[in-house]
Structure 1
Amino acid sequence: MRRGDVGPTALSARAGLIALCVIAIACGEAGQPSRGGPTSSIPYAGTWRLTDGRGPDGEVPLGKGYRITLDISDRKAGGTAACNIYGGDLDINGDYFSLKGGLVMTEMACDPQAMDSEAAYVDALAAVDTIAWEGNSLTLTGPDAELHFEGLSPPPIAQLTDTIWRLDSLIEGTGPEGTAVSAAPARLILRGDGELSGSTGCREFEGEWLRRGDEILFTRFTTEGDCPPDLEEQDNYIVGVLGDGFTAEIEEQSLMVFGKAELGLHYVAESKR
């Protein structure tokens, strides 16, 4: 990963927070995070990422930086459809699989490529009626659709929570092509009771969080204070990454979080609370 300037696209990251609790699969008990793996009698319960697929109108395109996921629990399914979060009730019996009653979805707007991917996936998901799984692979099929998924691991909740994370840099892109730019002092704290707090470098924030699949979602997020012009871009960037749901990877004292469009944040553990 290279140190450099984060480009204009990255710094225009969306600062709004989704009203997540319109989707039952994403909310669970108010204010309480989900912990550990799925507790379900369904053998394929868990979180899956789409690797390829086709629907009634052809291939489901996979946009760079916009994942499509499927989170399955008892009689519920949901996930991220490239841009928006979706959820619905499952009708399952043996290898029969259907989202009865359709889907409930948030209504964000993303890049055209992500919206095209989302539309194709939602159409394909509505057309499947059969499920098959083996190990880390899951397939949904129907007369006009076939979707292939791979299993995802849950986030490292025990390592993530009750630690003061100090922001080190803003990240755009992943792997060797990714760039990182130093950030003004900021912090993030996710507590084990489902509360959160932190700062963006110019504003304090607090709220509540939970785990959905392999992501962390903020279900309540309020900020306090104003930002001087030189920190407004960093403030927007941080809220954009954290506010729409993010994945978290921890290696020793280093935390990497990534939101949509391969926009991320690098934190370093400061202390355990």
Structure 2
Amino acid sequence: MRTQLIVPAAAALTAAITLTACGSEKGPGQGAGDDAGGSVRPAAPVTGVHWTVRNVTVDGKRIAAPAGAHVEFTTGKAGKDGAKGRAEGNYGCNHFGADVTIKGDTITVGPGQMTEMGCPQGVAGFEEALRAAFSGALKAKVSDKNLTLATADGDSIALTAQPAAPLAGTKWTVTSLLKRETAVSLPAGTEGKAHFVIGKDGSLSGNLGCNDFRAEATTSGSTLTVGRLSSTRKMCAGTAGMVEKAVTDALTGKVTYELNHRSLTLDSADTGKGVVATAG
């Protein structure tokens, strides 16, 4: 990981720990004899799911989430005090991690750790709101593919489950730049412009942050080999030009990629530059 989490990400577990609902309604495939001891059956899974943050409401003010804000829960075996585990995700710019306990419909979030990238002012404000809301005992409510986490003070976080994005055919929007082991956020005013699509036909196309581009690309294992880029010829000064140069360097030659659900990291072995991109 290129950012500097104090505690490394927990390994994803496949077993889903679920929120309990009042009553003993049986889930799919459960017969009358499955409800051993009259225990309350789970209602909907919260672990093993990529939850994208839609918005945060703090002090009655709703703030829309930037692209990439998400959280995933992983837990171990449940005990009498609940299931202990981790929450890992992204506040919208910085990555974070925190210990959690899931018991019934309550998710208790412990003190968190986060990276320390400088973020644009608007995103930084959202991150502060999300950090404040995603703390302590939260009441969880799952409805269809949506999850709502509510604090005792009435603040809330609205999230939606999203499936993993495939490498090819997905529009990947650049969210941060990498240089060796260091990640930096995009300069203010350049967010959301640089993007690319790895085509199933062996093409690579999109926008470098200023100019549109196209190239041939082949995938082998975890390596993307990018041919010569051809692009439009707009003059790109200032921060737009800086982003364009960084993205071009990241898409040069043999590029190692790491796909994590809806996040893609690219590192060029030739230039030492890279990018982090989010699906959508």
Distance 2:150 2:254 in 1: 44
Superposition TM-score, scaled by structure 2 size: 0.56
Q: Does 1:130 align with 2:103?
A: no
1:216 pairs with 248, 261, 264, which one? 264
Distance 2:218 2:108 in 1: 39
Could you tell me whether the CA contact under 8 Å between 1:60 and 1:120 is conserved in 2? no
**RMSD, aligned α-carbons:** 3.6
Distance 1:127 1:51 in 2: 20
Identical positions, percent: 16
Distance 2:52 2:90 in 1: 9
Distance 1:94 1:114 in 2: 33
CA change 1:183–1:22 in 2 (3 A) is: farther
Q: Which amino acid aligns with 1:215?
A: S
Per the alignment, residue 76 of structure 1 pairs with: 86
Distance 2:259 2:125 in 1: 28
Q: Which amino acid aligns with 1:84?
A: N
Task: Give 1:120 shift.
Answer: 0.7
Q: Which amino acid aligns with 2:219?
A: I
- Which structure has the larger Rg? 2
Could you tell me whether the CA contact under 8 Å between 1:188 and 1:197 is conserved in 2? yes
Equivalent runs, 1:19-98 vs 2, <5 Å: 19=3, 24-25=8-9, 28=11, 39-42=14-17, 43-45=45-47, 46-55=49-58, 57-62=59-64, 65-74=66-75, 75-98=85-108
Gaps in structure 1 of 5+ consecutive residues: 1-16, 29-33, 173-179, 227-235, 248-257, 259-273
Bigger Cα displacement from structure 2, 195-204 vs 111-120: 195-204
Task: Give 1:96 shift.
Answer: 1.6
Task: Give 1:157 shift.
Answer: 5.9
Q: Does 1:206 align with 2:255?
A: yes
Could you tell me whether the CA contact under 8 Å between 1:127 and 1:143 is conserved in 2? no
Q: Does 1:153 align with 2:163?
A: yes
- Larger RCO: 1 or 2 (CA < 8 Å, sep 6+): 1
Q: Which amino acid aligns with 1:44?
A: V
Superposition TM-score, scaled by structure 1 size: 0.58
Per the alignment, residue 170 of structure 1 pairs with: 207
Q: Which amino acid aligns with 1:70?
A: V
Q: Does 1:182 align with 2:212?
A: yes
> Secondary structure of the equivalent of 1:244?
strand
Task: Give 1:44 shift.
Answer: 1.7
Gaps in structure 2 of 5+ consecutive residues: 18-44, 76-84, 171-197, 230-248
> Secondary structure of the equivalent of 2:63?
coil
Q: How many aligned positions are there?
A: 193
